[in-house]
Amino acid sequence: MADKGIEKAEEEAKASAISYARLWGESPVPPALLATLIAAQHARPPQFLPLLFPPALLFSTYLNINEYKIDAAGTSAAWSALYLLLARRRKQPLMQKWGTRGIVRGATMGLCVANLLGGGFVYAIGKRTNDASGKDGTGII
């Protein structure tokens, strides 16, 4: 009897983790927040390579608002992964990790990982369907 209760709790936990990943990947807010953090980090002094990422992430938010949720999730995951690779190359001394810039950098990289996992999950399980409006990116399983 107790084993069934534990199994049920484990199944609910798995379902909720999957639903959280799906909701994160389908939301237009995380790419916009990531674009804001990236722009805040690299605007002063201007670093032009990292400043290429916010417009791409905002485009992903635009796609999501226009009901292309699967495409937006894939775009957000890809650009987040690229920024994560770029940001991991820069090494930071231990004392600078706990300042304001270090905390913002850590939050940005954490958000990149969350976007990569959530957006990649939605893109991987998404199924495109043709509906009456002719848009392809709306069919989420």
Helical segments of the chain, H only: 2-26, 29-42, 53-65, 69-89, 100-125
Contacts of 42 by beta carbon, 8 Å cutoff, 6+ apart? 50, 51
- CA-CA-CA-CA torsion sign (126, 131, 137, 138): negative
Using the CB atoms, write b or e for 46-76: b if 16+ within 10 Å. eeeebeebbebbbbbbebbeeebbbbbbbbb
CA dist 113 and 104 (Å) reads 14
For the stretch 11-20, pLDDT in tens is: 777 678 888 8
Residue 136's closest CA among 85, 67, 50? Answer: 67
For the stretch 26-63, pLDDT in tens is 999 999 999 999 999 998 899 999 999 999 999 999 99
Q: pLDDT-derived band of residue 2, with 50, 70 and 90 as boundaries?
A: low
